[in-house]
Amino acid sequence: MTEERPGAESVDSVLGALADPTRRRLLDLLAEHGEATATTLAGQLPVSRQAVVKHLAVLDTAGLVSASRVGREVRYAVRPAALDTTARWMASLASEWDRRLARIKRIAEAAEQDPDDPAHPG
């Protein structure tokens, strides 16, 4: 049984989109340029413009990029909100693991110090 977390669908979508190295590179390029067209982005990647458009659609669905029409062009830009949500979830997860590991460490240290403990090889 999995525990639902707030924004789980959004985080899952972001992590799925970021699983592909080409999509991560597209985000890097958009972060560098501010905004760009699929044609401009395809010129900087070893994939076709059509492939770039498909990758951008996945990023758009995940909320990682936005598309705006300027004349005949569609320009893409990074939308940081979905990344922020995912980063907060990851930080929360890391913090929870830190708390769990610290508790295990305290229990282990206490057991090591307690000679009356049957598990302690006195």
Query: What SS3 state is found at 5?
Result: coil
Residue with tokens 């770039």: 52
Residues in the chain: 122
Query: What SS3 state is found at 62?
Result: coil
pLDDT at 116: 65
Number of helical (H) and strand (E) elements in the chain, helices listed first = 5, 3
Token pair, residue 120, equals 């302690």
Question: Cα torsion at 81, 82, 83, 86 (round to 10°)?
Answer: 120
Q: Is the dihedral of CA 67, 50, 12, 26 positive or negative?
A: negative
pLDDT at 82: 85
Q: Rounded to two decimals, what is the model's pTM?
A: 0.71
pLDDT tens for the 122 residues of the chain, in order: 344 454 566 889 999 999 999 999 999 999 999 999 999 999 999 999 999 999 999 999 999 999 999 999 999 999 988 888 888 888 888 888 889 998 998 888 888 886 665 655 54
pLDDT at 79: 93
What is 8-114's CATH number? 1.10.10.10
Query: What SS3 state is found at 36?
Result: strand
CA-nearest of 88, 110, 111 to 6 is 88
Question: Cα torsion at 6, 10, 12, 13 (round to 10°)?
Answer: 170
